[in-house]
Homo-oligomer: A and B are copies of this chain.
Amino acid sequence: MNEQLEKTAVNAIRILSADMVQKANSGHPGLPLGAAPIAYEVWAHQMKHNPENPNWMNRDRFILSAGHGSSMLYSLLHLFGYGDLGIEDLKNFRQLDSLTPGHPEYRHTIGVEATTGPLGAGLGMAVGMALAEKHLAARFNREGYPVFDHYTFVLCGDGCLMEGISSEVMSFAGTNQLDKLIVLYDSNSITIEGSTDIAFTENVGKRFEAFGFQVLSVEDGNDPKAIGRAIEQAKAEKGKPSFIEIKTKIGFGVPEKEGKACAHGEPLGVENVKALRESLDWPLEEAFAVPDAVYEHYHALARQGAGKEYFWKQMFEEYGEKYPELKAKLEAYYDENSPISLLDEEGFWERSGKAEATRSISGKVLNELKDRLPNLIGGSADLGPSNKTVLSGETDFSAMCPQGRNIHYGVRELGMTAIANGILLHGGLRTYAATFFVFVDYMKPMLRLSSLMGLPLISVLTHDSIGVGEDGPTHEPVEQLTMLRALPNMHVFRPADEMETRAAWYSALTSLKTPTCLILSRQNLPVLENTGKDALRGGYILKKEAGEKADLLLLATGSEVSVALDAASILEQEGVSVRVVSMPCQDLFEEQDQDYQEFVLPPSVANRAVIEAGSSMSWGKYVGVNGCYITMDGFGASAPAAQLFEKYGFTAKAAADRIREKLL
């Protein structure tokens, strides 16, 4: 290997990144300058990847958890020839409609494995990918046929490690001995506010030892060979994930900024970019110019990657011949459309007609689904028995039993969500994550990434509203429905009974680029008539008005639908013609055409009311300025649930009274 050429190849990453930030006049040059040798060593020598096929099932994964270093990632993708990411794209860094946005975006730039930026997220997604690999390997590999056999690399900085999610997911990775996870810590001792000493004096390596990691360190982050040796050691360790602390200098090569906080998040300045070229002995003056020899070097490396996939494909072909059933099963795992046909099978839409909590119904549905969808795995943040998310008869996922389908996440809602995102990003699996609805607050930062990436994550959120009862206001969601409905590209489903719960699961499994939150009751709900597949339209007429024209539109969801029906009865006895609309999913209703929306909610009917034991905010656009809101806009209390529904006015009589007074 030509050592000088390798050095120039490393510096190409630095120069391109610095040029990108400088041209955009925006971005983060500090990390790419410091961490380029790490990235180079991983991508050039340690990672098994084929730029020609970024979807190769068994590729090693690389996640840039420190997503603000995106210019480094784009430089790598460009140099390795991913998806024809051209030099023009690098020149358009951070510009409108470019392939090179400020932070890496999944589904936007070929080769980007995950959207990162919110710190710590990448660590969690990497754990999810490593989990998926271990599970799939246990399910599908056979002696001599390592179909799934890849590493997951994740590069993080101090910021990622200060975030609490880092402890949640790394403790989980240690417990489950995800030994193909390799965490690379770009340790530069600098944060935005100054030296890490001001806020972060902990012994990070020791923390990872406590989690059950092999902990390694590299003193000179400019020595790719030393980095390579540490990675080899990480790969050799069976039974523990590895954490490699690599000492780097933020802003390396820029005398004025090296090792300083000011190197982190602003362009270097024209003079400093010039100084960088000098200190690196970079041969070309022109911005974005890279020597041909460097390109050739990267292309040769890319061809090596193609070769690796070629051999894997040969092995996989033999595997298919020897184990045709396994191969067919594997293909079914990767068939995104399989839920649709499976759910349309007879029996799924059958009504049992039993009054139950929607969480219990959900548990039954899930257990019906488990054999139809063998690639569905999931778990709860230590509330499985309450969330009714345990797949009965299935084993637990663990170090000893990675083929298990029930994941024990521990009390780590945020980490769980990131891990679940990672499982989906890996491919081949569907997954759900569960906790009490109120604790979706902890999940929020990572749910936002599910939405942004368009991942079909299913969040099973039980114990909704004041129906929680005795646990009181800390455990009673009020504003969470609004919070989730306001999140773009998220389906929030609050079913009212069995059939709507089935519809919710159906929707969740068949919405392939949108995550779904299932909001489920703790308490039993009455059996309703006329519910069913219509719920898939988000909102529908559950009870038509008695008269020719409705005097009142009454909207409700979940546990309040039966209250609305009873309130409607009271009012109809008084001669008011009431239409009851069940609206289990506002988001799906918004996706319907205008005709349907106006069919359900005729613009001519101005009298409108809503009953929902949650904040009023999300109903304004349906119920309007003069509407009647029977909602919860303050915190709940601790008492038996029935008393709380009474206290806060969620009874048929109280609702009818309020509506009469306000509207009629």
Binding site for B on A (CB under 8 A): 24, 26-27, 67, 94-98, 101-103, 105, 115-119, 158-160, 162-168, 171-172, 174-175, 191-194, 198-207, 209-212, 380, 382-386, 396, 398, 408-412, 414-415, 438-439, 441-442, 444-445, 448-449, 451-452, 469-475, 478-479, 482-483, 485-489, 603, 608, 615-626, 629, 633-635, 637-640, 643-644, 647
* Residue among B24, B193, B620 making CB contact with A382, cutoff 8 Å: B193
A101 & B159 in contact (Cβ 8 Å cutoff): no
- Provide the residues of chain B in CB contact with A411, threshold 8 Å: 119, 158-160, 162-163, 191
CB distance from A210 to the nearest CB of B (A): 4
- Provide the residues of chain B in CB contact with A410, threshold 8 Å: 162, 191, 199-200
**A634 CA to B487 CA in the complex, in Å?**
8
B198 & A412 in contact (Cβ 8 Å cutoff): no
B162 & A168 in contact (Cβ 8 Å cutoff): yes
Closest B-chain residue to A192, C-beta based? B382
Closest B-chain residue to A100, C-beta based? B638
Beyond A472-B105, A617-B482, whether A625 also contacts B638 by CB under 8 A is: no
Beyond A441-B444, A620-B620, A624-B624, whether A117 also contacts B475 by CB under 8 A is: yes
**A439 CA to B445 CA in the complex, in Å?**
8
- Provide the residues of chain B in CB contact with A475, threshold 8 Å: 102-103, 117
Closest B-chain residue to A158, C-beta based? B411
- 5 A-B pairs closest in CB distance: A620-B620, A164-B164, A199-B410, A117-B474, A101-B638
A-B contact pairs, 13 of them (CB 8 A): A94-B470, A96-B637, A105-B473, A105-B474, A117-B472, A164-B168, A164-B412, A191-B410, A193-B380, A194-B408, A482-B482, A488-B635, A624-B624
- Provide the residues of chain B in CB contact with A396, threshold 8 Å: 198
A101 & B386 in contact (Cβ 8 Å cutoff): no
A96 & B639 in contact (Cβ 8 Å cutoff): yes
CB distance from A398 to the nearest CB of B (A): 7
8 A-B pairs besides A118-B438, A118-B441, A171-B202 with CB distance below 8 A are A26-B469, A26-B640, A94-B640, A102-B472, A103-B473, A175-B200, A193-B384, A483-B483
- Provide the residues of chain B in CB contact with A67, threshold 8 Å: 474
Beyond A101-B472, A487-B479, whether A163 also contacts B621 by CB under 8 A is: no
CB distance from A93 to the nearest CB of B (A): 9
**A133 CA to B79 CA in the complex, in Å?**
55
Closest B-chain residue to A472, C-beta based? B102
* Residue among B118, B441, B474 making CB contact with A116, cutoff 8 Å: B474
CB distance from A635 to the nearest CB of B (A): 5
A94 & B193 in contact (Cβ 8 Å cutoff): no
- Provide the residues of chain B in CB contact with A412, threshold 8 Å: 162-164, 199
A174 & B201 in contact (Cβ 8 Å cutoff): yes
A478 & B483 in contact (Cβ 8 Å cutoff): no
CB distance from A539 to the nearest CB of B (A): 14
- Provide the residues of chain B in CB contact with A488, threshold 8 Å: 478-479, 615, 633-635
- Provide the residues of chain B in CB contact with A192, threshold 8 Å: 382-386
- Provide the residues of chain B in CB contact with A624, threshold 8 Å: 620-621, 624-626
Closest B-chain residue to A471, C-beta based? B102
B199 & A175 in contact (Cβ 8 Å cutoff): yes
B204 & A210 in contact (Cβ 8 Å cutoff): yes
Closest B-chain residue to A629, C-beta based? B621
* Residue among B200, B438, B620 making CB contact with A171, cutoff 8 Å: B200
B198 & A398 in contact (Cβ 8 Å cutoff): yes
**A623 CA to B190 CA in the complex, in Å?**
48
**A210 CA to B164 CA in the complex, in Å?**
15
Beyond A115-B474, A164-B412, A483-B483, whether A448 also contacts B441 by CB under 8 A is: yes
Beyond A482-B483, A637-B96, whether A175 also contacts B201 by CB under 8 A is: yes
**A97 CA to B633 CA in the complex, in Å?**
19
- Provide the residues of chain B in CB contact with A164, threshold 8 Å: 163-168, 412, 414-415
- Provide the residues of chain B in CB contact with A486, threshold 8 Å: 478-479, 482-483, 486, 615, 617-618
CB distance from A589 to the nearest CB of B (A): 14
- Provide the residues of chain B in CB contact with A640, threshold 8 Å: 26, 94-96
B210 & A635 in contact (Cβ 8 Å cutoff): no
Beyond A201-B212, A202-B171, whether A159 also contacts B102 by CB under 8 A is: no
**A97 CA to B27 CA in the complex, in Å?**
54
- Provide the residues of chain B in CB contact with A105, threshold 8 Å: 472-474
Chain B CB within 10 Å — which of A24, A26, A200, A439 has the most? A200
- Provide the residues of chain B in CB contact with A618, threshold 8 Å: 486, 617, 620
A442 & B445 in contact (Cβ 8 Å cutoff): yes
CB distance from A424 to the nearest CB of B (A): 18
